[in-house]
Amino acid sequence: MVRKNELMKLFLGSFSYLPVPINISFWWNWGSMAGVTLVMQILTGLFLTMHYVSDSSLAFDSVVHIDRDVNYGWVSRSVHSNGASLFLLCIFMHIGRGLYYKSYLNFHTWGVGILLLLVSMLTAFFGYVLPWGQMSFWGATVITNFLSVIPYYGVDIVNWIWGGYSVGGPTLTRFYTFHFLFPFVIVVLSLLHLIFLHRTGSSNPIQLSSIPMKMYFWPYSGIKDILGFLLVFVFFFFIVFFYPTVFMDPENFMKANPMVTPVHIKPEWYFLFAYAILRCIPNKTLGVLALVVSILFLYIVPLLNFFLNKGFYKGISFSYQVVFWIFSVNFILLTWLGGSPVEEPYIFLAQVCSFIYFLSLCLMGVLV
């Protein structure tokens, strides 16, 4: 009776009875982990919405109210703020697995995934502004100013986003609105990502056709995913309960003050790799262009593979693996350099790492 229900058939067909390769490893857990984290973010975000006030004179105090006066408000805020880091970590790991095993050759699935990354980073940026602390205010000022490099209309676009001639109350209201709405856009894109994935099927570590070697998602892969959830969430809630502010900047515990600029302005850790690429280029316009291209370049990898290798070749050579691990270590170095002072030798190192970043992505598209 239950299985004849249309909604149940849709659910069971998408999860329980979904055919998956028998040899997928724990690296395939990161996609489902991102989905679970997204649900957690939406639920905690809805709770925080009940108490947050998107007014420039009250926003900071409303966050303090959530932390101090609301029952378990500090838990919800800690889960939500640290959950953003977990969600972006899951996406980075998911994309890394896709690069290593050449899952990007399923171009539609890969394309929607990169779009998901862009929207997620934008949503996280909007959320970073909402506490209206010093780093929130000045981070919003610096990041939105990048749009001024757009020819002719750049300054007008910046002023339109600000709702005036500087970051203020209208900016906060707009960012709060977008931060509330964008997670539902992420849900729609996630469903589209799953539709393309289920149409082509999951890849597998040996990159061979898995049509004759598939089994139902439940129980084998489902239980493996649950084990991955437990391991990651034990570590995550250890941070939530014992080190809830470990990823927060000390400057953000002070209310936004337009008259006092922080000594060192830097975004959250998941923006630092792109921020390092931006800062190491002396020309502002070229720096902003490189920042945007650092994400969009992920679209180039499958196209290079298709046009230069005359087809979708899915083998993984030793040279490809070497380039991938160079790219991975270089990505970590760029993240570290993005949080370092803007002085030598960090600027030179960032320039070298930026070159390696783009070169390694090109090589991954060329090598077979």
pLDDT band at 302 (very low <50, low <70, confident <90, very high): confident
Mark the binding-site residues for heme b, compressed into ranges: 80, 94, 179, 193
Asked if residue 140 lies in contact with residue 129, where contact means CB atoms within 8 angstroms, the answer is: yes
Give the pLDDT confidence of 116-162 residue by residue, as tens digits: 999 999 999 999 999 998 999 998 898 898 888 888 888 899 999 99
Q: What are phi and psi of 61, to 5 degrees?
A: -70, -30
Answer yes or no: is pLDDT of 224 > 80. Answer: yes
Task: With beta carbons less than 8 A apart as the criterion, state whether 296 and 358 touch.
Answer: no
Say yes or no to pLDDT of 209 above 70.
no
* pLDDT tens digits, 38-63: 999 999 999 999 999 988 889 999 99
- What local confidence, expressed as pLDDT, does residue 206 receive? 63
pTM recorded for the entire structure: 0.89
Across 96-110, 247-261, 300-314, least confident range: 300-314
Read off the pLDDT of residues 325-366 as tens digits, 9 standing for 90 and up: 999 999 999 999 998 888 888 899 999 999 999 999 998 888
Lowest mean pLDDT of 210-224, 294-308, 325-339, 351-365, name the range. 210-224
pLDDT score, position 17: 65
- Per the model's pLDDT, the better-predicted residue between 98 and 208 turns out to be 98
% of residues, the chain, pLDDT over 90: 44
* pLDDT class of 2 with cuts at 50, 70, 90: low
Going by the annotation, the residues of the binding site are: 80, 94, 179, 193, 198
pLDDT at 252 exceeding the cut of 70: yes
Burial of 358 (0-12, 13-18, 19+ CB in 10 A): middle
**How many angstroms separate the Cα of 131 from the Cα of each of 65, 101, 236?**
11, 39, 22
183 pLDDT above the threshold of 90 = yes
Residues 67/61, Cβ–Cβ less than 8 Å: no
How is domain 22-261 classified at the architecture level of CATH? Up-down Bundle (1.20)
Backbone φ and ψ for 31, nearest 5 degrees, come out as -65, -50
- CA 4 – CA 363 distance, rounded (Å): 50
Read off φ and ψ for residue 72, nearest 5 degrees.
55, 25
Determine the pLDDT at residue 76: 93
Q: Domain 266-368: which topology?
A: Helix Hairpins (1.10.287)
For 101-115, 203-217, 297-311, which range has the lowest pLDDT when averaged over its residues?
203-217
Average pLDDT of the chain is 86
Give the pLDDT mean for 57-70.
92
Q: What percent of the chain has pLDDT over 70?
A: 87
Catalytic residues: 198, 202, 224-225, 268
Q: At residue 207, what are phi and psi to the nearest 5 degrees? A: 65, 20
Among candidates 363, 365, 337, 362, which has minimal Cα distance to 351?
A: 337
- Sorted by where each begins, the domain ranges of the chain are 22-261, 266-368
Which residue did the predictor score with more confidence, 103 or 201?
Answer: 103
Q: Provide the pLDDT for residue 267.
A: 86
- Residues annotated in the binding site for a ubiquinone, as ranges? 198
Residue with tokens 């693996």: 321
- Taking 90 as the threshold, does the pLDDT of residue 23 lie above it? no
**Mean pLDDT score, 8-21:** 64
